[in-house]
Amino acid sequence: MRLQHCAVMLLGSVAVLLSAQQTMALPDAVVVETRIKEGALSFQAGMKSRHTVKIDYSSRSLSSDFLTGVTNLVGIELGSVRDRFTVYSPIFSGEVASFIMEGQTASAVGVLPNINYRFTITVDRAAREIVVSGCHDGYPSYSVIVGDTEVYSFEQEFLAALFGSCDIVVASRTVKY
C-alpha cells in the first residue's frame, strides 16, 4: 500500500518541518488510527489515517506526523484529499503533557465527506496513565494507542455514519498503559 506522509514539530507556537518516521510502540507517543474494517458493507477496507504525536518531556515539545491510505478505483490508486492533522494547546507540568489532536482526511473520490476527529489527551508519564476525551464520526473505526496499549477503541457503524461531524462523543476516561 502506498502511503502519503507529512511531519510537523511544535516548539511553543513555532512549527518546523521534519523528516518523519513511522512510530510504533513508543511509550511517549500517542497514535490515533482510523481504519475501515472488513465487513459486508465495507468500502475500501484498510488503514485510512495514522496520526502520531511524540512527547518530549525534557524539551517540553511535541512532534506530530501522519500517514494516509489510498482509495483504489478501477485499478487507479487515488491519494487522500483535504488532509489536516494538527496538535495544539500543549501544556506541560513536570511529567504530565496535555494537548489536543485533531485530524481530517477524505477519499479523493470526492463525493464522500471527511473522516474527522478531535481528542483531548493528557499523558501522565510518572503514573503511566492517559486521559482521553473528545469526538469522532461513526465511521470508520477509531483507535487511540499509547505505547503498546490501546486506550480507546470504536467499531465502525455504517458508511452513512461518516456524514456529519464528530457525532460520537467520547466521555473522559482514564486508562493505565
Task: Report the first-to-last Cα separation within the chain, whole angstroms.
Answer: 30
Q: How far is CA 168 from the centre of its chain?
A: 15
Sign for the CA dihedral angle at 134, 140, 145, 149 comes to positive
Task: State the pTM of this model.
Answer: 0.81
pLDDT at position 16: 29
Instruction: Give the closest residue to 134 by CA, choosing from 111, 103, 113, 107.
Output: 103
How does pLDDT run across 107-142, given as a tens digit for each residue?
877 777 899 999 999 999 999 999 999 999 999 999
